[in-house]
Structure 1
Amino acid sequence: MNLARRITLIGGAAVLASGFAVALPAEPAAAHGGFTFPATRTYACYQDGLEGGNGGSLNPQNPMCQEALEYSSYPFWNWFGNLISDAGDRHREIIPNGKLCGPTEEFDAFNRPGDWPATQVQSGDTVTFEHNAWARHPGTFTQYITKDGWDPSQPLGWDDLEPAPFDEVTDPPLREGGVEGAEYYWQATLPEKSGRHVIYSIWERSDSPEAFYNCSDVVFDGSGGGGGEDDTQAPTAPGAPSAGAVTDGSAELSWGAASDDVGVTGYEVHDAATGEVVATTSGGTSATVSGLQAETSYSFYVVALDAAGNASSPSPEVSVTTGSGGSGGGPAECTVDYSIANEWSGGYTANVSMTNEGDSALQDWSVAWDFADGSTVTNGWSAQFAQEGTRVTASNTDWNGDVAAGASVSFGFNAENGGSAAEPTAFEVNGETCTAS
């Protein structure tokens, strides 16, 4: 399995003689989200366990991950559920020093100091943060970094963090096709640091008192670290790219991460016909190529770069054909998947996914349905909502209005009602009847 990023097992690796064999649960015990870049401790250990395992078993090679698995397999399979449900902006009040990385008993093993798997980053770089969205919630992501001179041999405390966050974003955009499915993403500039640090993240929901906590171990290479003039080894070739949403003028591409003896610092997407660089990233493994011509075939490949400027061999090529550039008006066929994600007394959370089953791209979409249970939408995400009586219409935002043929778009909302939630059975997309799955 390809990692979302190059995660270095800095603590060393000792293969367990007997190994761990842990059965994958039928479904996650809780589903919310966590960073895949920079990888949280729980996600990095989950990936390490799968890489060392066989047939879905967990056999981590990093010693810290091994100890955590001996304590419990729960936070491995539930790496996206490190939360306190009633935090209510009381983070420093309810989480004691030494428990920041795992504030509940299930995740306590991840508070231990040691050489956890770490993501290699460059000081001062602007990177794309990627946070998996197992369940979509409105709210604010706040990121802190450890101070210079903090003691990594001790459990993380509040005073180990810089007093002000270096990054904060509210309701960032959401996209499909991340390394673990749908993900929030945004640009962030890393602070000027060197060596090993911890990025501490708090995701505080705006629709409930629930908050999520994650530690991402990183190693800053400074202005190149070991990747200066003496670094002559190029990264490995990136994995084969795949195409996500393709419109009349753009194509979303993603690919498997390359690896390097020091660290991959970015990727270039090239037009295979001309060799021209058409998109770049500063560590991310996805990019959108824009400025394309409608109804035209293109081929692209990806090259990885390191801090010394060494370039990898090109990845395999991916071919795409852009859409016709029509004005939309309703796909020939479509499918809507509507599901109740969470339910409580007097309300619930619902997730909706609409798939364009037609032969051409859909632009400026709307999905409409009628509530049969007296529900009222209170807030939502990844769509604009309007309700008149029982009739609800969700329409695209300014960043997800194009849905390529065969592609999907997802959104969600919270609603109030006076009883049990009932899933609608009939939907319309741009005024056309659409199949409910």
Structure 2
Amino acid sequence: MGKRRRRALAAGAVLGPAMIAGALLTAAPASAHGAMMVPGSRTYLCWKDGLSTTGQIVPHNPACAAAVAQSGPNSLYNWFAVLRSDGAGRTRGFIPDGKLCSGGAVVYDFSGYDLARDDWPVTHLTSGAGIEFRYNKWAAHPGTFRTYITKDSWSPTRPLSWDDLEDQPFYSVTDPPSVGSPGNEDAYYHWNARLPSGKSGRHLLYTVWQRSDSNETFYGCSDVVFDGGNGEVTGVGEDGGGPTDPPTDPPTDPPGDPGKVCKAGYRSIGGWNGGYQGEITVTNTGTLPLAGWMAHFTFANGETVDSLWNGTYTQSGPDVTVSNANYNGALAVGASTTFGFTVKAPSSPTALEPHCMTS
């Protein structure tokens, strides 16, 4: 089979036809919403696959077409609504085997996304590599995200069961930072994680978002292949093709991506027994001035912030979010500012990888 052209999707792209699609619906929307965007869930990537200039859903991917044939186009107009209002974070014993990807949803019919097929849109990844997860916040809520991965024995050609997933999530995060205003594709939660090592070939990531302010819980499947990829997506659109050879070049940052309008870089200032000092530089890498910024980083070794200057911070477990002070939030294009901090460290210091966003 000949090599087909890879199409890398920009998770932050704004697509106007989605708004037109909403106007075509007669069903009332569900009360709250969200779905994994990176790596994309089945409903999200099938929505991307089916978008047309008229706002109608016209699937190109055969698995997406089969899902819409079974569940109807409302399943994609509401790609962010795979939920159970009575979920309360429950998984095994609550969602039946074979219905994990649909979450056993009752508000809309998502049963088509449980179909056992090997031709769903797929995200190309590298085992053991770092990844920035992005989860859409069509409506914003506090809560915890848990992400599981399939065992090596899993096959995409049989219905997904709980026994196909590793018993414990390989990563979880509570109340991660976010960008954008709810109600559009540009709004999402994001967090850095490391993918499991020793994985190869096709797998599935299963994400559960459990709200802490209600029992509402969201479920979703993201099809991935560990082939040395850097987040490229295949199987979407008329020329999307199917799984291809490993990519040789990393994807470029899409213009206007709200997560890329600034960057944050860390350097160690020094350390001592039981602590260390660090500094983070925030730079406006966008095309417009910034009125404010936030930086987020995650400790890995039980550290706590002892003091911080040139900003204000909150720490929740290992996650630290820093907002600008009232005198260094405005940054012209290309301008930078720094904030520093000291840390209490019970063990070795974390090599921090901060992420910057606008506030």
3-state DSSP of counterpart to 1:142: strand
- d(CA) in 1 for partners of 2:261, 2:253: 12
Match of 1:170 in 2: 174
Query: Does residue 76 of structure 1 match 2:59?
Result: no
Per-residue CA deviation, residues 325-355 of structure 1 (Å, 9 max, x unaligned), is 9xxxxxxxxxxxxxxxxxxxxxxxxxxxxxx
Query: Does residue 188 of structure 1 match 2:193?
Result: yes
For residues 286-325 of structure 1, what are the structure 2 equivalents within 5 Å? 290-292=281-283, 319-321=287-289
- d(CA) in 1 for partners of 2:165, 2:246: 28
- d(CA) in 2 for partners of 1:113, 1:241: 36
Q: In structure 2, give the amino acid aligned to 1:253.
A: V
Query: Does residue 108 of structure 1 match 2:111?
Result: yes
Match of 2:211 in 1: 205
User: How far is 1:134 from its partner?
Assistant: 1.2
Identify the match of residue 215 of structure 1 among 197, 221, 224: 221
Match of 1:57 in 2: 56
- d(CA) in 2 for partners of 1:145, 1:219: 12
Per-residue CA deviation, residues 67-123 of structure 1 (Å, 9 max, x unaligned), is 112221112011111011112243222211100001125111100011210111111
Match of 1:346 in 2: none
RCO higher in 1 or 2 (8 Å CA, sep ≥ 6)?
Answer: 2
- d(CA) in 2 for partners of 1:137, 1:320: 29
Match of 1:374 in 2: none
- d(CA) in 1 for partners of 2:257, 2:156: 39
2:124–2:246 contact (8 Å) kept in structure 1: no
User: How far is 1:319 from its partner?
Assistant: 3.4
Identify the match of residue 154 of structure 2 among 145, 150, 154: 150
User: How far is 1:398 from its partner?
Assistant: 3.5
RMSD value over aligned CA atoms? 4.0
1:100–1:156 contact (8 Å) kept in structure 2: yes
1:5–1:119 contact (8 Å) kept in structure 2: no
Query: Does residue 40 of structure 1 match 2:41?
Result: yes
Per-residue CA deviation, residues 148-194 of structure 1 (Å, 9 max, x unaligned), is 02121111000000111101111111222798122111011111211
Q: In structure 2, give the amino acid aligned to 1:111.
A: D
Match of 1:248 in 2: none
2:179–2:189 contact (8 Å) kept in structure 1: yes
Per-residue CA deviation, residues 302-321 of structure 1 (Å, 9 max, x unaligned), is xxxxxxxxxxxxxxxx5344
1:123–1:223 contact (8 Å) kept in structure 2: no
Match of 1:67 in 2: 66
- d(CA) in 1 for partners of 2:292, 2:201: 50
Instruction: Tell me the percent identity.
Output: 41
Match of 1:24 in 2: 21
2:34–2:80 contact (8 Å) kept in structure 1: yes
Q: In structure 2, give the amino acid aligned to 1:172.
A: P
Q: In structure 1, give the amino acid aligned to 2:141.
A: H
Q: Evaluate the alpha carbon distance shift between residue 206 and residue 243 of structure 1 in structure 2; reply closer, same or farther with a 3 A threshold.
A: closer
1:33–1:133 contact (8 Å) kept in structure 2: yes
Match of 2:255 in 1: 240
Q: Evaluate the alpha carbon distance shift between residue 324 and residue 110 of structure 1 in structure 2; reply closer, same or farther with a 3 A threshold.
A: closer
For residues 267-286 of structure 1, what are the structure 2 equivalents within 5 Å? none
- d(CA) in 2 for partners of 1:113, 1:98: 9
Q: In structure 1, give the amino acid aligned to 2:255.
A: A
Match of 1:91 in 2: 91
Q: What 5-or-longer segments of structure 2 have no aligned partner?
A: 1-6, 13-18, 231-243, 267-279, 294-309, 316-320, 332-359
Q: In structure 1, give the amino acid aligned to 2:211.
A: R
Q: Evaluate the alpha carbon distance shift between residue 61 and residue 140 of structure 1 in structure 2; reply closer, same or farther with a 3 A threshold.
A: same
Q: Evaluate the alpha carbon distance shift between residue 205 and residue 324 of structure 1 in structure 2; reply closer, same or farther with a 3 A threshold.
A: closer
1:4–1:37 contact (8 Å) kept in structure 2: no
- d(CA) in 1 for partners of 2:330, 2:42: 35
3-state DSSP of counterpart to 1:93: coil
- d(CA) in 1 for partners of 2:322, 2:252: 34
Per-residue CA deviation, residues 289-313 of structure 1 (Å, 9 max, x unaligned), is 9444xxxxx8x5xxxxxxxxxxxxx
- d(CA) in 2 for partners of 1:324, 1:163: 41
Q: What 5-or-longer segments of structure 1 have no aligned partner?
A: 7-21, 245-251, 255-268, 270-277, 281-288, 293-297, 301-317, 326-362, 366-381, 385-396, 406-437
3-state DSSP of counterpart to 2:206: strand
User: How far is 1:47 from its partner?
Assistant: 0.3
Q: Evaluate the alpha carbon distance shift between residue 161 and residue 291 of structure 1 in structure 2; reply closer, same or farther with a 3 A threshold.
A: closer
Q: Evaluate the alpha carbon distance shift between residue 237 and residue 204 of structure 1 in structure 2; reply closer, same or farther with a 3 A threshold.
A: closer
